[in-house]
Amino acid sequence: MHDFTYHAAGSVADAAARAAAGEDAVLMAGGMTLLPTLKQRLAQPSDVVDLGGIAELRGIRVEGGAVTVGAMTAHDTVANSSEVAAAIPALAAVAGHIGDPQVRNRGTIGGSIANNDPAADYPAAQVGLGAAVCTAPRELAAHRLVPG
């Protein structure tokens, strides 16, 4: 693993500022893809900005017929959410079958979507559900985010 500067962001604004200040900064959600990539020396970021401490990026809300899942919400939380199971049972089922228990407890929906692996479960689910991915400062239709 190459040397990098680690930052534990306390807010979305803090994360954005730290990422912008780094020469080649990367954001880390659960770290399920990033950490192995760093260990294999396939990436050499100048800075790693950890989003794990940002409470506003975690959680599930159901309002007006829409389900919002925060980027830092663990797969296991999505899988075991009664709100998600009632509104979108397929999403709860997808989340419950991702990886193994360790991955489901540490990995995040936002990290998986940001990784944008077309072989992963969430890209197909988000396109099939007509989901939107909200980033600061824009919102993207899932079918525009997913390659292919």
Q: How confident is the model at residue 145, as a pLDDT?
A: 61
* CA gyration radius, the chain: 15
| CATH number for 125 | 3.30.465.10
- Among residues 53, 58, 84, which one has the least CA distance to residue 72? 58
The 10s digit of each residue's pLDDT in 27-46 is 999 999 999 999 999 999 99
Give yes or no: residues 93 and 133 share one domain. yes
SS3 17: helix
| CATH number for 38 | 3.30.43.10
Give yes or no: residues 31 and 82 share one domain. no
Give me the number of domains the chain comprises: 2
Pure H helices in 69-120: 75-79, 82-87, 89-96, 101-106, 109-115
All residue ranges of the chain with pLDDT < 50 are none
Q: Which domain holds residue 94?
A: 58-145
Give yes or no: residues 63 and 135 share one domain. yes
